[in-house]
Structure formats: structure tokens, C-alpha cells
Amino acid sequence: MMKAETTLRLIETGRVIAIMRGQFGGREEDIVAAIVEAGVTAVEVTLNSPNAIDSIERLARRFGLNTAIGAGTVLRPGDVERVADAGAQFIVSPNRNLEVIATTKRLGLVSLPGCFTPSETIEAIEAGADAVKLFPAVCLGVNFVRALRGPLPDVRLVPTGGVTPEAAREYFAAGAWAVGAGSELIGKDVMLPGGMENLRTRAAEFAAARQDLVRPQLKIS
């Protein structure tokens, strides 16, 4: 099993967690191959997707050495154990469940619980969470991230929900550690003609948002 420190480094490398939710007709590996090629280094398969455990197992087997493969919408401690057996390296939830966090850390996985308030964020970190999924980010906004960074500068914040490439760029500039991108990245159009090319374009746009943050700014004299 990949060590938690390695998983965190992989997520931090790309700073985008691609969220796979729904039915993709067995094309999950093709989808992940396309976004990994564009520079995405973390993929979350939600447990409310058909055959989620099987998808996690296949993706972990093929991409797990160089890409962090995780499980999302994890609501119960027992689900953590199931996805850990399938090869998941990180656990994402829409809520802050202390038992889920504890089980995740006991199994040596990276914990990203969902939080909406400063109190939930602090409680999650004190319970052992490695990062905090700010959800739904579309309701919180960039200014919330910037404000939260004041008292909590060392907390890894991962805005998720309604994150476009443009929003990702703003979140990174505000201090977000990473972002979670769902249908804004892996949309249902991947099943349509030309959909995979659209996916590659979107993945490249998300990767560019991250690169813009680390690229030195040229001074114009």
C-alpha cells in the first residue's frame, strides 16, 4: 500500500482531484489515462457510482504507482475498509464523520473529510484529517478560503463543488492546497463522439490553472 506521505505528494503535484461520479460504461481507465496525460495526478471514484469498488481496484492496479486513486462519498467506517482492500489511497467524504476519519488513519490512508465551517474544519484536523474538503465550495467562495487561511494557514484546504478551471485559478491564488473537480472536468459528454477530446482539453485547462500559480511572473519595465 502506498504511504500516506506519498499520496499527499502526488495530490500536491497536480493539485486537482478529478471526481468520477456516475456510469461511464467501463471506460474509466481510458478516462483516467487521458487526464493523467494532461497532468492530473489524483482521481476520486465516488461510492454512489455503479461498480465503484471494481473501478477503484482496476484504476489502482493500472495507475496507482504514479497517481493517487481514492474513494469519494464515503459515509461509513465499513466503506473505508472495503475501498482500502480495493487499493484506494485516500478517502473523501461530503461530511465530517469522526469515525470515518479514525478508520481512515488506522488503515494508513489519507483523510479528506467534508467541512463547511471553521469549527468543522478544526474538529476534522484535530481528529487526524490530512486535508479538508470545503464543500460545497460554490456556496462558500474564494473569499471564504482566503479568510480561513488567516487563522488556519497550515491547513490543506480543498474547495470542491462547482469548481471550473477559472475558479481553480482563483482558489489557488487564495491559498487552496488543491481543488476537487467533478462534472466540470469529467462530464457525461465523455460518452459522446468527441467527448474524450473535450475531456483532454478540460484537463489541460485545469492543469494550466495550477501551472499559472507556480510560473514566475514576468516584470514589465
Measured CA to CA, the distance from residue 115 to residue 134 in angstroms comes to 5
Measured CA to CA, the distance from residue 187 to residue 202 in angstroms comes to 10
Q: Please name which of 58, 45, 54 lies closest in space to residue 17, comparing C-alpha atoms.
A: 45
**Structural domain total, the chain:** 1
pLDDT number for residue 214: 53
- The CATH code of the domain that includes 84 is 3.20.20.70
CB 133 within 8 A of CB 97: no
pLDDT number for residue 126: 98
Residue 97 structural domain: 4-214
In a domain, 26, yes or no: yes
pLDDT number for residue 211: 77
Chunked into runs of 10 residues, the chain (221 residues) has average pLDDT values of 90 97 94 96 97 97 96 98 98 98 98 98 98 97 97 97 96 97 94 93 94 51 33
> Looking at the annotation, which residues are catalytic?
44, 133
Rg (CA), the chain: 16
CB 101 within 8 A of CB 129: yes
Q: Please name which of 17, 11, 14, 13 lies closest in space to residue 135, comparing C-alpha atoms.
A: 17
Q: Please name which of 55, 3, 47 lies closest in space to residue 29, comparing C-alpha atoms.
A: 55
Q: Please name which of 79, 81, 86, 85 lies closest in space to residue 57, comparing C-alpha atoms.
A: 86
pLDDT number for residue 215: 47
Measured CA to CA, the distance from residue 4 to residue 50 in angstroms comes to 27
Angle between the 28-38 and 52-63 helix axes, to the nearest 10 degrees?
Answer: 40
In a domain, 70, yes or no: yes
- DSSP string for 40-67: --EEEEETTSTTHHHHHHHHHHHHTTTS
In a domain, 220, yes or no: no
pLDDT number for residue 221: 33
In a domain, 94, yes or no: yes
C-alpha cell at 27: 471506460
pLDDT number for residue 218: 39
pLDDT number for residue 213: 63
In a domain, 95, yes or no: yes
In a domain, 125, yes or no: yes
